[in-house]
Structure 1
Amino acid sequence: MSALLEVHELTVGYGAAPVLHDVSLTVDAGQIVAVLGANGAGKTTLLRTLSGQLKSEAGRITLDDQDLRGVKVERMVRHGIAHVPEGRGVVTELTVDENLRLGGLWRKQKPKLDGIYDLFPALAQRRSHLGHQLSGGERQMLAIGRALVAEPRLLLLDEPSLGLAPKITAQIMALLRDLRDRTGLAVLLVEQNVRSALSVADQGLVLSLGRVVTRNDAAALAGDADLRHVYLGF
């Protein structure tokens, strides 16, 4: 049985400068894979390429064996990929409810928001609040909720803990684990908070200067002291 997402020897650059070099990885359905590494390692570039925002110079990206090369970014959601970029990306002039509905605009049916509000009770209490009236944690919940409205099979999540209190970060990680277990959602998680990411991930891979240094079970990575000190900073 093939993986849900397969990336084979992906090379991506900005102009003449390569950022990713021959990156290969797989993500199975119902699996959380953490992408770790220092700033500048290429983590965000990887997610932006997988969501169609950047074009690869070489390599292959497939979802359920369907080639995604050349697919426009606005059509990726139709293929089952949703991307929550770093910085949360909430439309601050719109209400919580309106932001969530944006995630389902491409569907013919009216988006179902009750399930999202069940996942994020704090948002349910603020349906009519504008994005700029929310706390940082609430904005992150809203960004994730909007992505989930599209009912993706693969969620690309970039630095969800950035700037958030540890308690909120723990809630978001617990949510990812719950979604994986209940719905089979696959998640590719870029995260600077290494301990937090490895606590929820099934697998982890480490990028350094655009190359995959290692990939292993999350528990094995967390227990590798030499690897942690050299590449992960703890």
Structure 2
Amino acid sequence: MSNAGDLLKVEGLTAGYGAAPVLHEVTLSVGAGRIVAVLGANGAGKTTLLRTLSGLLPLAAGRVMFDGLDLRGVKVEKMVRHGIAHVPEGRGVVTELTVDENLRLGGLWRKPREPLDEIYDLFPALAQRKNHLGHQLSGGERQMLAIGRALAAKPRLLLLDEPSLGLAPKITSQIMGLLRDLRDRTGLAVLLVEQNVRSALSIADEGIVLNLGRIAAREKADKLADDADLRHAYLGF
């Protein structure tokens, strides 16, 4: 499902840790204003995929293109300048900094510096706690802060790893709704790794199922959600 307007193109990607590949010849694409959900069991290679795309892991083979730029060898710190933001699993925030300082850290590479009003509009809970330290936040607030910090860099592509992990359904619903709104309103592209399959497919345009590091299925999200055999075989529901 690739076309000339794709923002991210991944072709034959093989990657892993040391001499042991985790991903094998993965090919996918993400267009501007599209959400692509990456699904699969634990150990399928989902997190490895995002870590490779963001430059944290090297490619063993294949090619990753972002808006015509070959990302092989691009340093991690340069990714954000090219318009790619990665929110890893685990709600990583700098706990010794305030909410406001964390968000300003996310926008550090933007010149000139832009106000954070838009981020606070997206996350009213953060606006109320802007002077609180990261360790004083709830799990849901930390996830909002991690996403807000990534958005402060004004990315064109957001790589998002397990945003609902450990969160209450209400907070999960808020985050998924926010992603859908950003896609529709700003044209943000999202590659979403998510264990909550139903939530992910409810907002995604396309779903990709990874199994043992290979793509087992790739369909429009609604079609994938309706495919009972596929869901039972790979997604557990």
Q: Which residue of 2 aligns with 1:80?
A: 83
- 1:135 has 2:141 as partner: no
Q: Is the 8 A contact 1:83 1:156 kept in 2?
A: yes
1:46 counterpart letter in structure 2? L
* Deviations 1:26-46 (CA, angstroms, capped at 9, x unpaired): 000000000000000000000
2:164 to 154, 161, 164: 161
Q: Does 1:13 align with 2:16?
A: yes
The equivalent of 2:192 in structure 1 is 189
Residue identity in the other structure for 2:224: L
Residue number in structure 2 paired with 1:203? 206
**Counterpart residue identity of residue 58, structure 2:** K
Q: Look up the SS of the partner of 1:108 in the other structure.
A: coil
Unaligned runs of 5+ residues in structure 1 are none
Q: CA deviation at 1:91?
A: 0.5
The one-character-per-residue Cα deviations of 1:123-152 (angstroms, maximum 9, x if unpaired) are 000010000100000000000000000000
Q: Does 1:110 align with 2:113?
A: yes
Equivalent residue pairs, number: 234
- Distance across 1 between alignment mates of 2:88 and 2:115: 23
TM-score normalised by length of structure 2: 0.98
| 2:52 aligned residue | 49
1:77 is aligned with what amino acid? V
Deviates more, 1:165-174 or 1:8-17: 8-17
Please name the residue that 1:94 is paired with. 97
TM-score, with structure 1 as normaliser? 0.99
Gaps of 5+ in 2: none
Matched residue of 2:57: which SS?
coil
What is the match of residue 124 of structure 1? 127
Runs of 4+ in 1 over 6 A off after TM superposition: none
Please give the alpha-carbon distance, in whole angstroms, between the structure 2 residues aligned to 1:203 and 1:16. Answer: 31
Write the letter of the residue equivalent to 1:91.
V
- Aligned AA (2:234): Y
- Give me the whole-angstrom Cα distance separating, in 2, the residues matched to 1:112 and 1:204: 35
The one-letter amino acid paired with 2:231 is R
Compute the displacement of 1:111 (Å): 3.1
Say what the alpha-carbon RMSD is for the aligned residues: 0.6
1:106 shift after superposition: 1.5
